[in-house]
Structure 1
């Protein structure tokens, strides 16, 4: 499969380099002024959105950051937990521009996982959304290092600090001559963010990123691809794909960022807000794809539309583009202007990319990993290769370690976007960097003769779901192994031969027959299903086990008694 409009050597896009996040906020305010920077709805049902200009954001963030300095948080680690919102963005911008270290945490984590991360990072403060109020008590009781609690909203009892109250106080300080925010000299190579790659920090790692890591990742990436005018911010902000690409990458270009009110409102808000492009993980794209074609099939027009797509593709080869006229009624589901999607975080089916292209929506497939801030490579607007995750961003070096006869080996990256290391884990840091300074991603792939990257597999056991979430099988295995009667267990992502199941986490168990017999347990499958359900209740939603498989013999092992995972039949149908 090949794409139309492939221009191998067309010019790079323009971009602006900033010294740090404060510099970015200041210069974008000077350049774009009253242009809308951020928009959102207070309630999803609101007819109109609230619009914040670049001037307004800079003024508010300067005031909020000034108050954070007065609270003694410069040089301190501050956890940030909440949904995509003005509060989250203001907090992230303030912390990363006033000398603190931000520790973003997934709001969907169970309270014990949140507390574990905050304790591991030894956070001094917590900025949080009221949406985690049911977990707040646990965190407060179990994390003793936190001295300041700041809420996205005013608290009912008035005893917890809020962002709005601190903005007001900071504004008064600035008017009184306080220039502590602006006078501070920011070191772009200093630690500015710790992003934990796992919900349970006992086994996960804290990725340490600097300001240079984050800003260079976008500055050098934007040379390759162009994102026009306005986006809808739907990716979780705590994920680097969301905070770096969807937030920083758009803000530095003066684009409008509309904060999506939640997953259930995406389709409605696409029509209301009419963004020109989206930044998504494959799960969202696959969902859109299935809904579109399910609706077409329901109308009895699937064969007709497929035929029109083939005709349209043929016409485009001779320079005639009829997609707007042929598929306008389909495209309106994404609003009146949306014609580009940047995809990253996991592999995307090339057939989906091709079909969207036929309908009139270009998908730029990219590749990233948290340790690289995260963007490593991306296809270009007018030069795309089927099956490839694109060419490396500028100034970045990529090599393939120990390639096989097909040129496939471990993908290794070197550049200013690569992390400082793992938080308080020098051993793990040494293990992923080689003597030449290359970071070993753990991903298998190859490079073509133009240096474009093709991912062919994983060298580790890590499961990457279609929504970009990372699942560590060993963590789940530890929990399942605590169940009475489990002799051995291996957790993996199930393989569907009929392509009807995806993101299915499977726990395959070899039962201890004697132990089960001793307790008089005869319906073994029901027993383990019930016990695993209890285990699921204490795990983050995306880590939940979807299928329990039982086996009659123990797992095949090496001479050192390690289970050979590759020998397991992972099919589920």
Structure 2
């Protein structure tokens, strides 16, 4: 029976030793060779004198070597510290110092980052280039240590959208229980193939796009980059059947399909327009109608697409479904290893985040009159706590329940619906609650608005809190519009377009929820690695509506 993370591939090695486990370009690891390299790395770490429970970092782009580094570290009884390749030097120093990491396994392209800071890290003794993994001598799994499944396995530093960095402690049991629950909810098979897109340091990708497929004998392919041409080429090479990604990728993918259709023949355009407007009675027609377009994108074999890491808009979900792409939305937190819920394959409701995984309990704490309250979670996947931060741990772990900070409700069929974040809630002077995410979703139905944040803002004159929208328009669409209509759009014209969109949304809102100010941004919002906007960073002046 599977008990520790470092053993996730063992059954696949037994059943499919010569099958591709990991592939990037010309570099291929069969399941048997994967195990050989993991054991070789484990032995190498032993020889360095490292002791069970000590920390070791992993830094680099998605690759087979990143996967082997992670597995070798936990197989040796060490604690893996996945590092975001986009971190600044100061952030890397903070994480490596706080975790007291003894070393880092690093890809060639990121070696310089650790080289430049290692002098400031008294605990850091070892810097290993991932490319040397292939050169390590083979080793038998002779030196076995007893790893307690409840012991710390992964230390993940996460700031999310709040800007407050915490280190989440996950045990072997946390991850293994999540893998087993995912298998019951969304089974995958050894005949499936994945393409890894989300950065592997992120728990969503590590659990769902890396450890889970390896436990099922699946082949994982890595694209040389996230450029569209490279991704499509990798999709085709892999004959991809399962895709796990964040909403932004699905949005860009859908936008690319729309561009292809816009340049297609008149009959194809007519079919697209017709099918876009019909109801579910035509669902069976969608897959064959758009098979050519899916084939051009390398997705003709795709049987499952899962969105997570951030909220998937209803518009994008419906657009993908209309094109015959089966999309499922799920929900999770790093603190829950990470998956809490997912839509069932048999009956997805993508305006929700699905039903709780088997073995995971979800409740709504202190629901209001409409049933909305804080989502709380209990199960074997819930973290050990925050590293060296008892105060923060006690705030979210109470009587075995994880208080997620997310607001939502559970409908009468058991599907979870997320309405917003507790910390982003705007409370009016009369005590009424405004959920910013609700207003943002309404604004994002406008074709002119690409990104938006709704935040509270204090009026400098009245000193009253007002509802303000920070808007990043779709400048590409605006440019296309100006060219096609042979006009020159001034900034004031863009202001008017956005003002009109806000007024349209306001018409259907009660007075206390209406947006009273807005500001137009010239740049996209800064985001987390899963493309969530960093809400905490924005307090700026506004334009009166």
TM-score using structure 1 length: 0.73
Mapped partners of 1:440, 1:547: distance in 2: 24
Which residue of structure 2 aligns with residue 55 of structure 1? 32
**Using a 3 Å threshold, how does the CA distance of structure 1 residues 350 and 572 change in structure 2: closer, same or farther?**
farther
Asked whether 1:449 is paired with 2:392, we answer: no
Mapped partners of 1:342, 1:366: distance in 2: 7
**Using a 3 Å threshold, how does the CA distance of structure 1 residues 382 and 64 change in structure 2: closer, same or farther?**
same
Which residue of structure 1 aligns with residue 348 of structure 2? 384
Which residue of structure 2 aligns with residue 500 of structure 1? 448
Gaps of 5+ in 1: 1-16, 42-48, 154-161, 463-491, 513-531, 552-568
Secondary structure of the residue that 2:423 maps to in structure 1?
coil
**Using a 3 Å threshold, how does the CA distance of structure 1 residues 69 and 144 change in structure 2: closer, same or farther?**
same
**Using a 3 Å threshold, how does the CA distance of structure 1 residues 32 and 504 change in structure 2: closer, same or farther?**
same
Q: Could you give the per-residue CA deviations for residues 103-143 of structure 1, whole angstroms, max 9, x where no partner exists?
A: 11100111111111111111111111122244233321322
Which residue of structure 2 aligns with residue 186 of structure 1? 147
Tell me, yes or no, if the aligned pair for 1:194 and 1:208 is still in contact at 8 Å.
yes
Mapped partners of 1:572, 1:106: distance in 2: 39
Secondary structure of the residue that 2:122 maps to in structure 1?
coil
Which residue of structure 2 aligns with residue 68 of structure 1? 45
Correspondence for 1:280 among 245, 263, 282: 245
Asked whether 1:307 is paired with 2:274, we answer: yes
Correspondence for 2:218 among 240, 243, 255: 255
Deviates more, 1:26-35 or 1:118-127: 26-35
**Using a 3 Å threshold, how does the CA distance of structure 1 residues 379 and 260 change in structure 2: closer, same or farther?**
same
Which residue of structure 2 aligns with residue 339 of structure 1? 303
1:298-447 equivalence runs, <5 A: 298-299=263-264, 301-310=268-277, 313-316=280-283, 321-332=284-295, 333-435=297-399, 437-447=400-410
Which residue of structure 1 aligns with residue 499 of structure 2? none
Which residue of structure 2 aligns with residue 145 of structure 1? 123
Shift of 1:201: 12
Which residue of structure 2 aligns with residue 26 of structure 1? 10
Tell me, yes or no, if the aligned pair for 1:389 and 1:455 is still in contact at 8 Å.
yes
Shift of 1:58: 0.9
Shift of 1:349: 1.4
Shift of 1:330: 1.4
TM-score using structure 2 length: 0.77
Deviates more, 1:67-76 or 1:119-128: 67-76
Tell me, yes or no, if the aligned pair for 2:320 and 2:327 is still in contact at 8 Å.
yes
**Using a 3 Å threshold, how does the CA distance of structure 1 residues 386 and 127 change in structure 2: closer, same or farther?**
closer
Mapped partners of 2:167, 2:126: distance in 1: 22
Deviates more, 1:439-448 or 1:125-134: 125-134
Secondary structure of the residue that 2:9 maps to in structure 1?
helix
Mapped partners of 2:196, 2:58: distance in 1: 18
Shift of 1:260: 2.1
**Using a 3 Å threshold, how does the CA distance of structure 1 residues 225 and 36 change in structure 2: closer, same or farther?**
same
Tell me, yes or no, if the aligned pair for 1:109 and 1:199 is still in contact at 8 Å.
no
Tell me, yes or no, if the aligned pair for 1:389 and 1:454 is still in contact at 8 Å.
yes
**Using a 3 Å threshold, how does the CA distance of structure 1 residues 506 and 387 change in structure 2: closer, same or farther?**
closer
- Runs (4+) of structure 1 exceeding 6 A deviation are 199-202, 505-512, 539-549
1:473-492 equivalence runs, <5 A: none
Tell me, yes or no, if the aligned pair for 2:306 and 2:329 is still in contact at 8 Å.
yes
Tell me, yes or no, if the aligned pair for 1:312 and 1:322 is still in contact at 8 Å.
no
Shift of 1:75: 2.2
Tell me, yes or no, if the aligned pair for 2:246 and 2:530 is still in contact at 8 Å.
no
Tell me, yes or no, if the aligned pair for 1:113 and 1:199 is still in contact at 8 Å.
no
Which residue of structure 2 aligns with residue 132 of structure 1? 110
Shift of 1:72: 2.1
Mapped partners of 2:187, 2:6: distance in 1: 24
Correspondence for 1:83 among 61, 64, 69: 61
Which residue of structure 1 aligns with residue 133 of structure 2? 163
Tell me, yes or no, if the aligned pair for 1:226 and 1:381 is still in contact at 8 Å.
no
Aligned length: 461
Shift of 1:24: 2.5
Mapped partners of 1:150, 1:400: distance in 2: 46
Tell me, yes or no, if the aligned pair for 2:330 and 2:342 is still in contact at 8 Å.
yes
Gaps of 5+ in 2: 426-435, 461-521
Asked whether 1:293 is paired with 2:296, we answer: no
